[in-house]
Structure 1
């Protein structure tokens, strides 16, 4: 073995993150990687040179193509070529992969645009994936998954490089982002080349970051236990590159105006993290859970949450959605009469929706939300108005201020309310079979407290009156909303159609990472075999097989697909539903300056002033848009016609807002959501299902599953995330099946 003078000199001068990891390699492997990396560095410098002409660059590439050929058939002419020949012969490195690396560098000279990610993927393979394939040969990896690992990690590395080096590449006139994706975000080539920073650039870079994270996660799952010790250097490289990617995120993706370089300390932390995990972390020599093919039934919020979580963990996902749009029960559509987008019921989120807000932050869609922070709700009754408004003080004093200023409560009510809240604080739980009404009365809550505080909270959170609601579930609601942090009590409304809150971004990300959402794919049957779900069939005659399945279908839809003898089917059939009526109406003048009004002692519980929080682009000016909400309406109201409900609502509005009598009622639209939420009374609460089923590879998501929360957006998001975590941990028993098998439609 010759001393690699040339290779060592080139590698030492590069100060590369890749070369940083060679210290942990045995002597011979370190020598080989040093020489190989020097080869990569030399040909890369040809393409990036500012001194060589285009002709000289092409001549340099031709020289190295022939030099690689000479390594295999004769004697190389360059000192570095001679050193590389020793490495090639010792580790039996394939010539075509070395030539692929040169072809990748040649693309830097001859190609400066990529129309699609498919085109870019070829470039990523040549300049990074092929480097990984050579590296694992030198490392001595033998398992077939290590090749997939090298390709996934190479893609992650190169996507990180592309995002980090936008400014540098722009100076060469190169754009490495797919042009069709730039076009989808409304970004011109000139905006990148001139480094014109804007919110749409930030969001575009965010999705490039999320795609890189997907490939990092996929690579981690492809490390087979038998090859793990040999991949220590590769994992150190991975840790450093992940740190670079996260630094881009901490700079709000503004790579135009921030230098994205790790300090020596940050690099050291990344290295020590891997070394610590390698030497002191948990060791399970048989643990191997590679990326899976997973089918999700249903594209509502629970299904999208599961898809996002699985994508971030490196899996391949197919979402089957029966409709032509995503969102499920939280959908939106346009009313033709006024041309305005409305929701399938007005939803209110809260600051305690931790999982929902985490997803909002990751997708960068915070601008779609309207916050009422601190909480402020004006309650109207025939006795006048009263404002429930929390102060700016930290918890729990914000609640103290809010209740003390709430005129509907007396001093005696305040004392009883705080005594009740203290009992919840010390975890004095209600009885399992108790209704919320029974629990409150047992806790000596007055009728005025129940009327003006607990009943509105219960009907809003559980879509049931106190005398029907589960006390245990209401206990969790009170504890999470009133006894949490100050921001937990904030109210959050959607500024756009609720169906568009997550859908566009989730669909875009899944597509970018190679997953799919298939619309008008209604599941008609499930095929079970030996405690496993083997396949699902759709009404268009297609059969989908996968490693795992997640149902994010409503309980009644899933129940209709399950075997008759199934315990889960019986549970689904035992869950009743609770309706919500939403009357959208339009008038010629504003009725209130408050985004939300609560109605006490009225069949209408809430009135939302959409003009005060919705984006103006979806409103029908010059009309003023409102929605009156009737949660869990009694049978007599359900039996009313749309016109009768319209008259009833307008009568209530006129009585509680006297100034509204001067307004002209222009148009209305009644949306009846008969299955708006599951009905969780004390009896049906026990029918909520866990994420797991009696079929090992079949998991459940949906706000009706046992999340410990009411059937809310937060419950749906949490359920999807939880089901995804179970599917992620599920061990494969065989090689992944093909994801889709076509059949003739019947």
Structure 2
């Protein structure tokens, strides 16, 4: 990581330690994301670690609060500290220092962070979503804005506004994949991240999902409902994939690898007959390694030609 920090021009010891903390959070909680990040150029990696590390840190406050702690208070304190840091351009917090520095370096909009924190607050009080519109409001803050935060770091081959809808869609596809894979885990936390009206169309309610969780079996009605959710998510991946060519060429191997790895979780879920209550779908180490090697080869070729015509001036200057 020190080489990446050096390449990114991050020299101040306190700030370097903050980036290292975020990197550890990313490596610990997001193996697929972390693997794909290795395909980016060294100057890009610290910023990605900062953004994902912060997201995981906030998520842990909501989902993994130790006994006796107050997640509401901790989340509000984090929110206040982050917004102060974004407004002043500086933070002494061991996690937020890197996030604030990344936001400043790449001009990441403040509202993308406030939207994320709003969705984290929803997790403290909301346990279900009556329809797709309600779920989409949550997913915008919990996932789409992550893709939009990443976009300035990744760079684009044209106007950023043209790539933004695809970046948001990919974040959404990742999140919806998590919802399918983690139905059982989420039920244990008292939450269901599947639209109630769409489940009801197949005769499925929370009670039936809970029965599946307790028995480890997937009721036929639940299987049909999950298959419909699976198809919806697959269509979003198809849309998001069309936006990869709008990214800076050096970033495309990373995002392609992440997209393929995560979409293959959907393949595993389908191949297992939607048995999400019996086991957690995973992409094997061997498959991840093969994709990583393929992505690395493509990344090396892209870096050789990174000054190709059509790149944005800002991106060319940043990675020159």
Q: Which runs of structure 2 are paired with 1:305-320 in the superposition (5 Å)?
A: none
CA distance in 2, matches of 1:276, 1:82: 33
CA distance in 2, matches of 1:97, 1:226: 20
Aligned residues, how many?
A: 283
Select 1:25's aligned residue among 24, 35, 40: 40
CA distance in 2, matches of 1:94, 1:212: 27
Cα drift, residue 260 of structure 1: 0.9
Is 1:116 aligned to residue 131 of structure 2? Answer: yes
- Corresponding position of 2:120: 105
* Distance verdict in 2 for CA 1:185–1:38, change over 3 Å: same
Contact 2:47–2:102 (CA<8 Å) still a contact in 1?
A: yes
- Corresponding position of 1:201: 222
CA distance in 2, matches of 1:152, 1:249: 21
Cα drift, residue 259 of structure 1: 2.4
* Distance verdict in 2 for CA 1:220–1:258, change over 3 Å: same
- Corresponding position of 1:86: 101
Select 2:274's aligned residue among 253, 257, 265: 253
Classify the secondary structure of the residue corresponding to 1:28.
coil
CA distance in 2, matches of 1:262, 1:224: 25
Select 1:70's aligned residue among 84, 90, 94: 84
Unmatched runs of 5 consecutive residues or more in structure 2: 1-9, 303-307, 310-320
Unmatched runs of 5 consecutive residues or more in structure 1: 287-746
CA distance in 2, matches of 1:278, 1:27: 12
CA distance in 2, matches of 1:240, 1:97: 26
Contact 1:67–1:77 (CA<8 Å) still a contact in 2?
A: no
Contact 1:113–1:179 (CA<8 Å) still a contact in 2?
A: yes
- Corresponding position of 1:49: 64
Classify the secondary structure of the residue corresponding to 1:253.
coil
- Corresponding position of 2:243: 222
* Distance verdict in 2 for CA 1:231–1:60, change over 3 Å: farther
CA distance in 1, matches of 2:209, 2:136: 20
CA distance in 2, matches of 1:58, 1:92: 29
Specify which structure has the bigger relative contact order, considering alpha-carbon pairs within 8 angstroms and separated by 6 or more residues: 2
Select 2:171's aligned residue among 134, 145, 154: 154
Cα drift, residue 24 of structure 1: 1.4
Cα drift, residue 68 of structure 1: 1.8
Q: Which runs of structure 2 are paired with 1:164-179 in the superposition (5 Å)?
A: 164-179=181-196
Q: Which runs of structure 2 are paired with 1:3-42 in the superposition (5 Å)?
A: 3=16, 4-42=19-57
Contact 1:133–1:147 (CA<8 Å) still a contact in 2?
A: yes
Contact 1:164–1:248 (CA<8 Å) still a contact in 2?
A: yes
* Distance verdict in 2 for CA 1:219–1:176, change over 3 Å: same
CA distance in 2, matches of 1:41, 1:225: 27
- Corresponding position of 1:268: 289
Is 1:58 aligned to residue 75 of structure 2? Answer: no
CA distance in 1, matches of 2:299, 2:27: 26
TM-score using structure 2 length: 0.81
Task: Give 1 or 2 for the bigger CA radius of gyration.
Answer: 1
* Distance verdict in 2 for CA 1:155–1:263, change over 3 Å: same
Contact 2:130–2:197 (CA<8 Å) still a contact in 1?
A: yes
Contact 1:25–1:233 (CA<8 Å) still a contact in 2?
A: yes
* Distance verdict in 2 for CA 1:129–1:226, change over 3 Å: closer
Cα drift, residue 123 of structure 1: 1.4
Write out per-residue CA displacement over residues 304-332 of structure 1, whole angstroms, 9 at most, x where no aligned residue.
Answer: xxxxxxxxxxxxxxxxxxxxxxxxxxxxx
Classify the secondary structure of the residue corresponding to 1:27.
coil
Cα drift, residue 193 of structure 1: 2.2
* Distance verdict in 2 for CA 1:181–1:226, change over 3 Å: closer
CA distance in 2, matches of 1:146, 1:60: 34
Write out per-residue CA displacement over residues 262-307 of structure 1, whole angstroms, 9 at most, x where no aligned residue.
Answer: 22112123334545667789xxx99xxxxxxxxxxxxxxxxxxxxx
- Corresponding position of 2:305: none
TM-score using structure 1 length: 0.36
Bigger strand fraction? 1
* Distance verdict in 2 for CA 1:127–1:121, change over 3 Å: same
What RMSD over aligned residues (CA atoms) do the two structures have, in Å? 2.4
CA distance in 2, matches of 1:266, 1:226: 25
Contact 2:218–2:274 (CA<8 Å) still a contact in 1?
A: no
Classify the secondary structure of the residue corresponding to 2:259.
helix
CA distance in 1, matches of 2:261, 2:101: 29
